[in-house]
């Protein structure tokens, strides 16, 4: 099997972190092309036109980071990265989804509506131009401010975002915060719990995935 990847991008990194934590080695194929776009041959192969994508040896394709992680978790349950029982699985799901919706999407809202290279590419995965909407930049910043406060509060109760175990929710949170950094948006000094967590997670080998 192979994972189609774009080394610099935040969603593929979410998956790479997960794989390092699981101790899994999967062939990685880079498909970034010119001008910060995916290679045309990859887009033709996978019309969802996003990375990461997992291709099985028989050619079947799985898109969406969370779907790929679930597939690997089923095949290789240890160490568990999606929760150890029904309650934990629900809580990991909840925080992973919140990190994606409120962190990754908000960081994307700021970045994709600002960067010149993403002019006419306000959203990923579209074959037609999607114009940037400058007013979304301020809204994205407001969303990120809310996101930092919410996650800081949660990390005042737990070592990791969904409890005492490192999970995919931490990978998504870490990559969302890195992505916000692309727009020079950092964790506020007042978010001491989140800063403590970031320092601890940055020291894990998977943070360099
Ligand atoms: N919901 C998808 C999001 C994937 C996504 O947005 N990938 C971005 C890279 S981080 C992408 O493929 N962008 C292609 C483009 O901008 O043309 C997931 O969770 O995997």
pLDDT, mean of residues 152-177: 98
Between the CA of 208 and the centroid of ligand 1 the distance, in Å, is: 19
Rounded to an integer, what distance in angstroms lies between the CA atom of residue 186 and that of residue 191? 10
Q: Which residues line ligand 1 (CB under 6 A)?
A: 6, 9-11, 37-38, 50-52, 64-65, 121, 124
Residue 170 and residue 20: Cα distance in Å, rounded?
Answer: 13
Q: What is the mean pLDDT of residues 173-177?
A: 98
Strand order in the sheet with 61-63: 27-30, 2-5, 53-55, 61-63
Please tell me the predicted confidence (pLDDT) of residue 18.
Answer: 98
pLDDT at 41: 96
pLDDT digits (tens, 9 = 90+) for 13-71: 999 999 999 999 999 999 998 888 999 999 999 999 999 999 999 999 999 999 999 99
- Give, for 201, the enclosing helix (H) or strand (E): helix 192-202
Query: 10 CA distance to ligand 1 centroid (A)?
Result: 8
- Three-class SS state of 88: helix
* Residues 76-107: tens digit of each pLDDT: 999 999 999 999 999 999 999 999 999 999 99
End-to-end CA distance of the chain: 19
Domain spans in the chain, listed from the N-terminal domain onward: 2-75, 86-208
Beta bridge partners of 121: 130
Nearest alpha-carbon partner for 98 in 50, 38, 136, 153? 153
CB proximity list for 120: less than 8 A, separation 6 or greater: 129, 130, 131, 132
- What SS3 class is residue 121? strand
Q: Could you give the CA distance from residue 92 to residue 87 in angstroms, rounded to a whole number?
A: 9
Question: What proportion of the chain, given as a percentage, has pLDDT over 90?
Answer: 98
Q: How far apart are alpha carbons 22 and 209 in whole angstroms?
A: 12
Per residue in 1-12, pLDDT (tens digit) is 999 999 999 999
Q: What's residue 35's pLDDT?
A: 83
Question: What is the CATH topology of the domain spanning 2-75?
Answer: Glutaredoxin (3.40.30)
Q: What is the pLDDT of residue 34?
A: 87
Q: Which of 5, 6, 11 is the best mutation target for the ligand 1 pocket, counting ligand atoms within 8 Å of the beta carbon and taking the most?
A: 11
Residue 68: HSE in the Cβ half-sphere, 13 Å Cα cutoff: 28
Six-digit token pair at 16?
Answer: 């790479």
pLDDT tier, 129 (very low <50, low <70, confident <90, very high otherwise): very high
User: What is 86-208's CATH number?
Assistant: 1.20.1050.10
> What is the predicted pLDDT for the residue at 81?
98
| pTM as predicted | 0.97
Cα of 37 from ligand 1 centre, angstroms: 11
Both tokens assigned to 143: 């969303």
d(CA 105, CA 184): 16
């Amino acid at each position: 099997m192979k994972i189609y990847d774009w080394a610099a991008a935040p969603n593929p990194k979410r998956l790479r972190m997960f794989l390092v934590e699981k101790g899994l080695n999967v062939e990685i194929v880079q498909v970034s092309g010119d001008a910060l776009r995916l290679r045309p041959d990859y887009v033709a192969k996978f019309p969802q036109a996003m990375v990461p994508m997992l291709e099985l040896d028989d050619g079947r394709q799985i898109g969406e980071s969370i779907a790929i992680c679930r597939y690997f978790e089923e095949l290789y349950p240890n160490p568990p990265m999606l929760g150890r029982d029904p309650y934990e699985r629900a809580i990991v799901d909840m925080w992973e989804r919140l990190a994606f919706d409120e962190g990754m999407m908000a960081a994307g809202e700021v970045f994709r509506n600002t960067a010149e290279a993403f002019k006419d590419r306000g959203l990923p995965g579209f074959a037609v131009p999607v114009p940037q909407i400058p007013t979304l930049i301020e809204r994205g910043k407001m969303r990120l401010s809310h996101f930092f406060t919410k996650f800081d509060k949660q990390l005042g109760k737990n070592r990791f975002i969904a409890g005492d175990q490192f999970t995919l929710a931490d990978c998504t949170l870490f990559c969302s915060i890195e992505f916000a950094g692309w727009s020079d948006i950092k964790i506020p000094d007042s978010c001491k719990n989140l800063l403590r967590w970031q320092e601890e997670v940055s020291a894990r080998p998977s943070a360099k995935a």
